[in-house]
Amino acid sequence: NAGVTQTPKFRVLKTGQSMTLLCAQDMNHEYMYWYRQDPGMGLRLIHYSVGAGITDQGEVPNGYNVSRSTTEDFPLRLLSAAPSQTSVYFCATKGWGASSYEQYFGPGTRLTVT
Amino acid sequence: AQKVTQAQTEISVVEKEDVTLDCVYETRDTTYYLFWYKQPPSGELVFLIRRNSFDEQNEISGRYSWNFQKSTSSFNFTITASQVVDSAVYFCALSEAQTSYDKVIFGPGTSLSVIP
């Protein structure tokens, strides 16, 4: 039972390049989230999904795309990387129902855009 | 306006001291959930506790305790007899009925350093 996995762990991009951050879960959770973490800012929600085929924007969606074709996977795409997207990215999941209000996080991806 | 405020950006204590991390939240919902997460230097985020708005009982788990007071919209976290392994960033978070609990709002975090 791997929980929530993220790949890659680290990545350096040049401005203008594109890339996809992968997130996979084996917890059979309906909800999945992408956050970015910057110093002093806590965690800010980029996009989230309440189930396969359904996605919605969070607080800071600009420059990012997501899709959710399966329950297990929720990739985050950077279309044209900018230095402002240098951050640590966390994927999280949440179950559905009365006992599932907390989120479970992946180990994070540290992205640097030069 | 920030919905979850953690006014203490950084705290340093000497090992074995007690320390309280403050969390003040803002919501119009009568039903909501509050959480604490720990982020040690290794970087992962670890869930510590969930508390719903109808349960104001304090909770104790080993050296950790949580004080929830609706009257002051606070959900404070106390570590008793701190240890070096408690050094981490701690996040308080809020989930509201108005968003069907779909979203969790995190505070900016408090960085705790426990000095041996």
Residues with Cβ within 8 Å of B71's Cβ and at least 6 positions away in sequence, in order, are: none
Spell out which residues of chain A touch residue B33, defining contact as CB-CB under 8 Å.
Answer: 101-102
Peptide bond into A83 cis (omega under 30): no
Give the pLDDT of residue A96.
Answer: 74
Confidence of residue A35 (pLDDT cuts 50, 70, 90): very high
Q: Give me chain A's average pLDDT, please.
A: 92
CA distance A83 to chain B (A): 22
CA atoms within 13 A on the CB side of A68: 22
Confidence of residue A99 (pLDDT cuts 50, 70, 90): low
Which of B43, B50, B109 lies nearest to residue A42, judging by beta carbons?
A: B109
Parallel, antiparallel or unpaired: strands A19-25 and A76-78: antiparallel
Is residue A88 within 8 Å of residue A37, measured between CB atoms?
yes
Residue-wise pLDDT tens digits, B56-96: 888 888 999 999 999 999 999 999 999 999 999 999 999 98
Residue-wise pLDDT tens digits, A37-55: 998 778 999 999 999 999 9
Which of A45, A90, A104 lies nearest to residue B103, judging by beta carbons?
A: A45
CA distance B116 to chain A (A): 25
Give the pLDDT of residue B48.
Answer: 94
Confidence of residue B1 (pLDDT cuts 50, 70, 90): low
Does position B10 have pLDDT exceeding 70, yes or no?
A: yes
- End-to-end C-alpha distance for chain B, whole angstroms: 38
Which of residues A97 and A87 earns the better pLDDT score?
A87
Give the pLDDT of residue B59.
Answer: 86
